[in-house]
Structure formats: C-alpha cells, structure tokens
Amino acid sequence: MIHPVIKWSGSKRPQAELIKKYAPDFDCYYEPFIGGGSILYALSPKKAVCGDICKPLIQLWNEIKDNPIELSKAYRSRWNRLQNEGHAVYYEIRDHFNRTQSPEDLLFLSRTCVNGLIRFNSKGEFNNAFHHTRPGIHPDTLETIINDWSLHIKGARFLAEDYRITTESATQRDFVYLDPPYFHTAGMYYGAINYRELLDYLYDLNRRGIKFMLSYDGKSGDIDHTVEIPEDIYKRHIYADTGLSPFKKVMDKDKQQVYESLYMNY
C-alpha cells in the first residue's frame, strides 16, 4: 500500500492498483481532482497535468515536487516545537495557516490534527482540532516519504483550477482520471460539483476523443448510491471493492462494505 504524503479525505489509495489495471496507454496523464494524489503516484507517469480547486493543496504539491528538502525541514522545526512546547503550538500554526495559507503549515496540521483529516469550514478555514494522544508522524519518516513522492511526481504540473480548465490541453493520446466529490457527499469536501455540468463535460471529452475514467458513487452496505450516468457517455461500468467506508470507520466504527463505480469511455 502507498504511504500517503498528503492525507486527504476520499483518498483512492485502496483502489489504486485496480484503477491502474484498467488505465489505458497514454502520452500525458490528467488528474483534475488531485486531492491526495494516490492514482498519480500509482501510475507515476512521465508527463502529467494535475489540478484541484483547493489552492493551498496545490501549493503543497508544488513544494513537495520542487522543494522537498526545505519542506521536510519546515515540518521538523514545527514538530520539534510541538514536542517541546505542547498543543498551543498547533493552534498557533493553525491560526497562521488561516491567515497565510502556508503549505508548510498545512502539511504540519494534516499530520497532527484529529485522525489526520484535513477539514475546512465554509470560509475555507482549517478547523480540525489537535490530536492529543498522538505525537504526529516523526520527521525522519515523513522526510523519506516526501523525498520518494517528490521523485514520483517530477513530471507533473499542478494547477489551482477548476477541472475543466486543467484538462483544456488534453488530446486524443491522453488519459483523464476523474475523482470528483461524490454526488451523495456534497458538502463534505472542499468545493462542490454541479452534476449537470459534469455530464456536459464528459460529453465534451467524448466529442474530443479523449479517454477518461470516472470514479463515482456506488454502493455502501445495503444502500445503492449509484447515480444514473447516461449510457451514451461511457462504454464500461464496473463496481470496485473499496473495503470499508472511511467515514463510517472514523465516525461510528460500523462495518460496511463499500463499492464504488468506475465508468470508462474506452
């Protein structure tokens, strides 16, 4: 299993190997809802264009790619302060992040907050609390992870843009993997997606002859969340076994088998 460098809600880490298996050959890889980037890592493409509407997240990706040594040092100094001075340091850094959107602060918060869940309020402020019973990942361990990811993402460009802009330059030789916020989890993620606009966008990719794979709502326990995607948009629809629901696991320890939909137009 991949060690995440950025812990992100809705990570596709458990499905990365399956998604990789179904990916076609391509020149350039596009991932316009990059989040924690697990599929980018799994594919490790020579050339990629990735985007997300969350600007501090994209700044953090650029730091991982371009300044891994400085980023590790920044984590180490914040982590050392936390061990010596206690939890007030966490809230000082959280306030600083909410004023400045510093990517170094975001990395630190993501590794020391409750359950490692990056969470923003409607004003875009990081609002998760400090995880009192954990020291946060050791700087030596995180440094190894950052350096490894930095090598894997060297060929990627990161854009703080809407998904439609990120994929404007895609051609017929390229592949677009789409992991938008799910229809039934609107409000749980940063940003929101208009379903009608997403369908128009998929029709447009088809018109342009661009291969895409879309992860979308599936089944959770006995509940079928599958959304009616018009059949003329895709060629193949499979359910991918994702293991347990990450939300359920954290929130009520209830065990539910979760399957998500994968749609492919090839």
Taking the complex as a whole, the smallest distance from the CB of residue 123 to ligand SAM amounts, in Å, to 15
Q: Which CB atom, from 155 or from 191, has the smaller least distance to ligand SAM?
A: 191
Binder of ligand SAM out of 63, 143, 174, 179 (CB under 6 A): 179
Name every residue whose Cβ is closer than 8 Å to that of residue 21 and which is 6 or more positions away in sequence.
none
By rule CB under 6 A, what string of x and - marks binding of each residue 181-220 to ligand SAM? x-------xxx-x---------------------------
Taking the complex as a whole, the smallest distance from the CB of residue 92 to ligand SAM amounts, in Å, to 26
Stretch near ligand SAM under the rule CB under 6 A, chosen from 27-35, 80-88, 203-211, 223-231: 27-35
Binder of ligand SAM out of 117, 162, 217, 256 (CB under 6 A): 162
Taking the complex as a whole, the smallest distance from the CB of residue 83 to ligand SAM amounts, in Å, to 29
**Rounded CA separation 153/189 (Å):** 24
Q: Is 65 in the site for ligand SAM (CB under 6 A)?
A: no
**Rounded CA separation 133/254 (Å):** 22
Spatial contact of 32 and 121, defined as CB atoms under 8 Å apart = no
Spatial contact of 188 and 246, defined as CB atoms under 8 Å apart = no
**226: amino acid identity, one letter:** T
**Rounded CA separation 91/85 (Å):** 12
Q: Is 38 in the site for ligand SAM (CB under 6 A)?
A: yes
Q: Is 97 in the site for ligand SAM (CB under 6 A)?
A: no
Nearest to 217 by CA among 196, 236, 242: 242
Name every residue whose Cβ is closer than 8 Å to that of residue 177 and which is 6 or more positions away in sequence.
19, 23, 29, 30, 31, 39, 212, 213, 215
Binder of ligand SAM out of 14, 32, 45, 68 (CB under 6 A): 32
Q: Which CB atom, from 187 or from 222, has the smaller least distance to ligand SAM?
A: 187
Name every residue whose Cβ is closer than 8 Å to that of residue 77 and which is 6 or more positions away in sequence.
none
Q: Which CB atom, from 187 or from 230, has the smaller least distance to ligand SAM?
A: 187
Spatial contact of 179 and 35, defined as CB atoms under 8 Å apart = yes
Q: What is the CA radius of gyration of the chain?
A: 19
Taking the complex as a whole, the smallest distance from the CB of residue 120 to ligand SAM amounts, in Å, to 9
How many residues form the binding site for ligand SAM (CB under 6 A)?
22
Q: Which CB atom, from 130 or from 190, has the smaller least distance to ligand SAM?
A: 190
Helix (H) / strand (E) containing 216: strand 211-220
Spatial contact of 265 and 233, defined as CB atoms under 8 Å apart = yes
- Site for ligand SAM, rule CB under 6 A: 8, 10-12, 32-33, 35-36, 38, 51-54, 162-163, 179-181, 189-191, 193
